[in-house]
Every structure is written in C-alpha cells, then in structure tokens.
Structure 1
Amino acid sequence: MAANVLEFFVPSNRVDKRGRPTHMDGINDVVGAARANTYLSAKKKREDTEWVAKYARDAMLSCGWETPDELVTVTTVWYETSLLRDLDNVYGGVKYVLDALCTPARWSDKKRAYTRNPFGCGAIVDDSRRYVGELRFGAKVSKEHPGVLVRVKKMQPSVRSDVLAAEWVDEQLANGGCNE
C-alpha cells in the first residue's frame, strides 16, 4: 500500500567561509545570481533542484510513495541560521523545491516547447494548481541544522484547489480577517 504522506529534511547545500552550513537559497540569491550572470543563475537553480530531488527520491523509496493523480498539500518549514532574512526571501526557495518534486520531462516530450525541468524526482506529476492544491510555509531558527523540511500529503479526491481557496476566504472574512 502506498504512503499518504511523504516527509523529508533537506540540509542546506551552502556553506560559509568557515565551512559551516548556511541558509538554503532564497529569492534574493536567485535574483542576485541572475543579475550577475544568467548562466550562474541557471547553474544555482539546477544545483538546488537536484539537491532537493536527491533527498526526495530517497524518501520516496523508503516510504513506498507513489506519484498521486489527485491534489496534494505541500508544506515547507525553512530552518534558518538566524532571523535576519525576510520571509518572502526565504519562501522564494519553494520554486526549486516544487521543481524537484515534479515528474521529470525529457527534452523531446514537447516539440520545441520545454515546460518542465528534467531534474525532478517524480513525487508529484506537476507543480501546477491541477496537482498542488495547497502550499503551506513555516520558518524556524536552527544554527546547527539549516535546511528545509518538506511534507507532501495527498488530499481527498473530491477536494479542488479553487473550492479550497474560496472556502478559506469565506471563513477568514466571517472571522473578521485573515489572521491565523
């Protein structure tokens, strides 16, 4: 029987000058690399995607995960070395996490229309709203073990992401705001 939850921790693949692990790449790292050199940006994104895919693949094998056809909830908890980085910067790293979870596409799948990256592990079919119904984020501090905890959970087949979002908005408005 296939597992309903896939959970794994990805340690940071970046180190400081002293060899200590630092944070996972965020949106500022990606944008900064793109401004410096397009090829550097692509290289860093590929490294990050392959790094996450490696840990996801190992977790899939150990728990018997099968790629679901239904919606999933993807939760990421980012472990930072300090509180210095803004959350929008930190959460920008979800791009390469989702790309790492996708089913890889071969270059020849589409005629001159390459849409998905070829480096994913196949934990989910695609990172579109057709397959990812909900994204959840969290951040904590861990100086010794920075990285990201990723949790992919299958949703009920009858739940659709647009219905989920509409129900959540209605619930928040009824409660007087979007505070949790």
Structure 2
Amino acid sequence: MEQTGLEHAHDGEYQESQAQMEEAVRSAARLKEMELRTLRSEELKRIEFRHTIIQLALTGFGAILALGIQQKLSLVLLFYPFLMLWLSLLWRQNAEMLTKLRGYIATHIESEEHQWERALKTQSHPTWNYDNVFACIFIGSELIALGIGIAQNPQNIVFIIIASFCTVITVFLLLVRSLPITEFVDTSSESIS
C-alpha cells in the first residue's frame, strides 16, 4: 500500500512537471510569435518610411528643378545635392535596419517549415533590386540638378564644390554596401559555440 501511494505521488509529480513543461513550451511559442509580429510591424513601418523618402526626393526634385529653371536660381538647384545627402543618409540607415531585422528574423525566429526571409534572400537579384534602382534614380536626379545649376551660373565655385562634394558622398552612401548582417550573425554564433 505504501509503494502504491509512493508511485501515485511520483506519478502526480511527473504529470505536474510535464504540464509545467508543456505550459512553458506554449508560453515560449507565444512569446516568439509576439516577437515576430513586433519585428514584422517594425519592418512594415520602415518600408513605409522608404516610400516617404522616395516621395520627398522626387517631389523635392520636381519643385527645385521647376523653381531653379523658371527663376534662373542656380543656388536653388545647387541646394538639391545637399538635400539628397540627408535623404541618402536616412535611406542608408533605414536599409541597414531592415537588413538587421530580416537577418534576425531569419536566424532567430523562423522555424524550419516557415523560412520567408531566407527564401526572399535567395530569390533577390544582387545587382538590380529595389535599393539599386532607387539609388540610380536619386543619383541621376542629383546629377541633373547639379549640371543645370552649373550651366546656369558657373561662377558659383564655392557652391558648385559643396554640391559636388555632397553628390560624391551620396553616391558612396547609396552604392557602397556594408557586410550582410546574416554573415555577422552566423560568425558570431559559431564563435560562441
């Protein structure tokens, strides 16, 4: 009788520990899902911010080009490369944060059966993607504004040099890429192991 009571006690403890483990697994899965939803929300906000940057750049180009040509204000046209420098800084920071978000989701959250970020990375073209196309549009609009500004008043040497310097920095920011974040994450996890 004593052994049966002891077995029931051990059996009860075992079932209780199993129930606690199952609850912990469910809780971890809920936390992982919440984390994924939060990161996806952040990703969508950053994509919306990219569209805002594109709208600002193209609207600014149209307005500055129209005002500069119509009023023959070369200084206004030479201001556009400075504006694009700041927009390219925002674009680059946003692009790097998107890469970090996507790398974290791919390496830490996605399960074996759901690998959207990894599949997306393997299907993207390394040269002609969204970032490079808009980088070319940004740089092209900047060169047009710079060229028209120089043609209108080539005596503004100081402003031409500053605008040219801003253009070079913008080209560097938009076309030179940093190391992919997934390589950084993979090498750091190997060194910890």
Q: Structures share a fold, TM > 0.5? A: no
Which has the higher relative contact order, 1 or 2, with Cα contacts under 8 A spaced 6 or more apart? 1
Q: Which has the higher strand share?
A: 1
TM-score normalized by the length of structure 1: 0.30
Query: Which of these two proteins has the greater Rg computed from alpha carbons?
Result: 2
Larger % of helix: which?
2
